[in-house]
Amino acid sequence: MSVTVGQMAPDFTVVNQRGENVTLSELRGRKVVLVFFPFAFSGLCTGEMCDLRDRRGEFDDDTVLLGISADPKHALRVFAEQEGLGFDLLSDFWPHGEVAQAYGVFLPERGMATRATFIIDREGVVAWAVVNGPGE
């Protein structure tokens, strides 16, 4: 079961594509859009991340956009550079899928997160959520 609207967002600390720690609770006071995606470089995921890149200007200035997948940081770095993504991609690689599991969107039989988005308000509460199946 995935995290639902009104719940506190599960806290986590993972590395971004540059190897820097990102801790969700340290972003309190700002809105966070947390986007789980299955794999870097796959067709649908590339399109989704590039759409977010292209629409970044539609977000409030105090909104932090974070993409997250079970890919290793090195793959995410190349993916972000290749696609010109100007936001952090977080590596949920090890322990494998731990953040996706906490949010209820990990598919253990496939070793990946399903496609899901959680908007987290300034107090750390999930304000909006959508979970889609693979390929949706």
Secondary structure in 3-state letters for 18-63: CCCEEEHHHHCCCEEEEEECCCCCCHHHHHHHHHHHHCHHHCCCCE
Which amino acid does the sequence have at 129? A
What is the distance between the alpha carbons of residues 79 and 5, in angstroms, rounded to a whole number? Answer: 31
Which pLDDT score is estimated for 43? 65
Instruction: Let me know if 45 is a catalytic residue.
Output: yes
Which of 15, 45, 52, 85 is catalytic? The answer is 45
Q: At what angle do helices 73-83 and 43-54 cross, to 10 degrees?
A: 60
Give the per-residue pLDDT at 34: 97
pLDDT truncated to tens, each residue of the chain (136 aa)?
Answer: 789 999 999 999 999 999 999 999 999 999 999 999 999 987 667 778 878 888 888 988 899 999 999 999 999 999 999 999 999 999 999 999 999 999 999 999 999 999 999 999 999 999 999 999 877 7
Name the DSSP letter for residue 2.
Answer: -
